[in-house]
Amino acid sequence: MAHRLLRPSALRSGRHASRGQHNAHSQTSLLHSVVRAYSTAVPAASEPWDVVIVGGGIVGAALACGLGASPLTRNKRIALVESSDLSKVQAWAPVPQSYSSRTVSITPGSYQLLKQYGVWDHIELSRTQTYTNMAVWDAVGQGQVHFGTQDLGLSQEQPMAWIMENLNLHRAALRTLADACPGVTLFDPTKVESIQRPALDLAQTEPGPMMDWPRVKLSTGQTLMTRLLIGADGARSPVRQFAKIDAAGWSYPQHGIVGILKATAQTAPQSDWVWQRFLPTGPVALLPLPGEHMALVWSMDSRFAAYLKQLPDEAFTIALNAAIHLPVEHLEFVLQQLQATNGQLDPVLLDDLMHRAKLIGASGSGGISPPLIAGVEPQSRASFPFRLQHADRYVDQRLVLIGDAAHTIHPLAGQGLNLGLADVASLVPTLEQAVATGQDLGDYNGLLGYASARYAPNLAMLGSVDKLQKLFSTGWGPVATVRSLGLNIVNHIPRLKRELVKTAML
């Protein structure tokens, strides 16, 4: 179903590519695109568009907001294609004291972007929680590091990040499109059936206008012919596959367990802290939400993730408290019991673990105590696999990749969405520059600025997080000693700590 987000507008015909001379690269890329074409048939009824964004998730919607808000691009004809039914997101009505387990951490850099595009004005702020402190410690060694806004020279009121539900942010982006972006047309729920390029008549000395424009065939029967195709369509991106852009990467031997928790009344007041403990099976992180609620992101060895997910809520809560508070040997014993009994835990063991957790508290956090978990919200737990992946390149002739279509990352640093929004922050000015200088939006050379601005920083972040994951996923004594020493050194060198925090907050 296609609908104008605010009001209908007349078909803006006549935005055709210039018949000016193509440079050598464009000719070569055009010939190359014919070789890799999915089909040589030109659709009979193709609608011309300036930009087609495939993928209406948060990153794709944010890009549409950026283009729709810019004075330079707001009059362009932009399509946003999403396979799922976004009316469910638009109709989201949050239930008081109940939260979705899919949450995101928004850094100050992403906040500024969302504020600039008008998205932040539609955020349900009562459903968000800022944090100004973070405690990270090693369950095997004695290493620890504490970050705070004071490490950046900021006031206590200036947050390091905002925690909110995905639905809150996604709905805000869709509302911004509806209120302020009449140039954007939303197609949902609409699947992309194929992406094609027409055959080039080699007898023709000069290709005609729109000859090399991608054709996106939709499940509605429509075909969108676009000057620029943007893939914001996730890790298995059909747009990336159409362009035959390879993506290198690997799956981690871990799954993420997410859920919504409640802290005990005695330990809940520290609501402006994020807690992360590194275990050999993967880090466990507690992210603050309003009141006594917290979001859980527990990276667990894939062998045990299913057992933990299926535990009764009370048993899961006790196992989680062991992972947060007790020496690592206690969690290892719990996992051994789960494996030996096919997911069952002895009630006597559970009572002992809970008693120890209450007595010992945060034994590895150097006196800064994470909250004791009172319970997990019923039916809030879910799990998902982890994967690192990076596309060989981000641009092609008339094609761009952003977000998870270009890169996926281990979530231990909470940077996945922020990297995608940073892509948006770079791509929008690139396209604005093209319009301001009279360039073709889809010209390969004009798109290279975006690629050069984002590829190296994304690669560096992916590599750093991957190394952290591998460094902390071992209990071997010598490695544990060295990494604990490293954490303690960082904790006692303010300048080094400040630079690390600044990098994470971009």
The answer to whether the pTM exceeds 0.75 is yes
Specify if 356 maps to a domain: yes
Amino acid at 495: R
Same structural domain, 440 and 306:
no
Residue with tokens 């069952």: 344
Same structural domain, 283 and 334:
yes
Amino acid at 371: P
How far, CA to CA in Å, does 23 sit from each of 19, 199, 207, 396, 440? 12, 19, 12, 15, 12
Query: The CATH number of the domain where 51 resides is what?
Result: 3.50.50.60
Same structural domain, 186 and 47:
yes
Same structural domain, 343 and 432:
no
DSSP 303-369: HHHHHHHHS-HHHHHHHHHHHHHS-HHHHHHHHHHHHHTTS---HHHHHHHHHHHHHH-STTTTT-P
d(CA 328, CA 280): 8
Specify if 323 maps to a domain: yes
d(CA 57, CA 35): 31
Same structural domain, 200 and 275:
no
Dump pLDDT digits (tens) for 385-412.
999 999 999 999 999 999 999 999 998 8
Name the residue range of residue 378's domain: 129-164+252-385+473-505
Same structural domain, 80 and 202:
yes
Same structural domain, 157 and 90:
no
Specify if 305 maps to a domain: yes
Q: Please, what is the angle between helix 108-116 and helix 58-69, to 10°?
A: 50
Which residues of the chain have a pLDDT value below 70?
1-45, 152-156, 199-208, 267-270, 360-368, 473-506
Question: What is the radius of gyration, based on Cα positions, of the chain?
Answer: 25
The region that residue 366 occupies, defined by phi over 0 for left and psi between -120 and 50 for alpha, beta otherwise, is: left
d(CA 463, CA 409): 9
Same structural domain, 259 and 354:
yes
Residue with tokens 């930009």: 51
Query: The CATH number of the domain where 144 resides is what?
Result: 3.30.9.10
| pLDDT at residue 193 in the model | 97
Same structural domain, 266 and 350:
yes
Same structural domain, 410 and 323:
no
Same structural domain, 78 and 176:
yes
Specify if 489 maps to a domain: yes
Specify if 454 maps to a domain: yes
Select from 137, 266, 321, 139 the least CA-distant residue to 147: 137
Q: Which helix or strand (DSSP H or E) is residue 85 part of?
A: none
Specify if 102 maps to a domain: yes
Same structural domain, 445 and 363:
no
Specify if 17 maps to a domain: no
d(CA 373, CA 361): 11
Tally of domains in the chain = 2
Residue 160 neighbours by CB under 8 Å, 6+ apart: 107, 108, 130, 131, 132, 133, 134, 147, 148, 149, 274, 501, 505
The region that residue 44 occupies, defined by phi over 0 for left and psi between -120 and 50 for alpha, beta otherwise, is: alpha
Per-residue HEC secondary structure of 8-21 comes to: CCCCCCCCCCCCCC
Dump pLDDT digits (tens) for 89-116.
999 999 998 999 999 999 999 999 999 9
On whether the CB atoms of residues 119 and 176 are closer than 8 A, the answer is yes
Specify if 18 maps to a domain: no
Q: Please, what is the angle between helix 302-310 and helix 328-340, to 10°?
A: 80
